[in-house]
Amino acid sequence: MKKMLKACWNAFPGVKGKLGLVILLFFTVIALFGTWVAPYPKNFIGFDSWLPPSVSHWLGTDSYGQDVLSQMIYGTRTSFWVGILAGLITTVIGVTVGIVAGFKGGWIEESLMRIVDLFLIIPTLALMIILASFLPSMGTMSTILIIGSLSWLYMGRSIRSQTMSERQSGYVEAARMVGMKDWEIMFKEILPNITPVILANLVLVTTQAVLAEAGLSFLGLGDPTNVSWGTILALANANNAVLFHAWWWILPPGLAIAFFCFGFILIGNGILEKYRANRGNAAL
């Protein structure tokens, strides 16, 4: 057990990577055990409005008389899972498209990359808005699916260029000689070899998913029954929190988003730096 923990710890390279891991663990604990940690139940209304931070309300209350700290803790769960799950969906699509395009070459690569170039021009947020606003009802699951299915373009490109350089390597040639099928070479040989690049990408798309969720919620396209960092900020803005000096309603959600994404970016950077040091230049 102790050995395993130590191996996990060392998997995150550098001071940056370790700092990132600590930040991430903090949010994971809150996301998983938030229900027990939160001082008051979710969406509980009944305190005085606009209370500044105090012993009973560490982050004060909002205009509805909700405890901001409790809302933050429940919001962590939403933002966390949207980020992780949308990030995973993005990664699966991005890796598949990237490896297939990079390995197969020819017209398959040409057409896939044309599609990617095309969609890179059209702003993703605008596409997400039109999808989300025409959906009969928005739930957290649809947010995850919409973000996950639209964010893989850069990743697809990056994985493709990495796959192209792997294709030249001796082990791919050897695998071909042995008579391995194409999909076996792609997903059993190349995939494990580019894992660090995939991980670094995964980290990036997860932060983007968290930011996208915040943006969509801010536009009023989130799950109206749920609470996330984005919806807290949307409510704060809609209820003129600035004019009521309610900084305790504005600062925490933004800082939470920032630190959460910051943790991921640090980890990604650490992984890439180590990969570059080991393998020479890696394109991202």
Q: Where on the chain is the footprint of another protein (CB under 8 A)?
A: 117-118, 120-127, 129-131, 133-136, 207, 211, 214-215, 218-221, 230, 233, 236-237, 242-243, 247, 250-251, 253-254, 257-262, 264-266, 269
How many other CB atoms are there within 10 angstroms of residue 94's CB atom?
Answer: 25
- Shortest Å, Cβ 169 to another protein: 24
Give the pair of three-digit tokens for residue 94.
């991005």
- 241 DSSP assignment: G
- Cα–Cα dist 70/59, whole Å: 9
- Shortest Å, Cβ 172 to another protein: 28
Dihedrals phi, psi of 67, to nearest 5 degrees:
-75, 120
Q: Which is nearer to another protein, 117 or 173 (CB)?
A: 117
- Shortest Å, Cβ 42 to another protein: 23
Per-residue DSSP letters for 121-183? HS-HHHHHHHHHHHSSS--HHHHHHHHHHHS-HHHHHHHHHHHHHHHTSHHHHHHHHHT--HH
Q: Which is nearer to another protein, 29 or 238 (CB)?
A: 238
- Shortest Å, Cβ 95 to another protein: 22
- Cα–Cα dist 199/42, whole Å: 34
Q: Which is nearer to another protein, 93 or 235 (CB)?
A: 235
Cβ neighbours of residue 54 under 8 Å, at least 6 residues apart? Answer: 60
- Shortest Å, Cβ 3 to another protein: 32
Q: Which is nearer to another protein, 17 or 40 (CB)?
A: 17
Dihedrals phi, psi of 256, to nearest 5 degrees:
-60, -45
Q: Which is nearer to another protein, 44 or 247 (CB)?
A: 247
Q: Which is nearer to another protein, 187 or 262 (CB)?
A: 262
- Shortest Å, Cβ 231 to another protein: 13
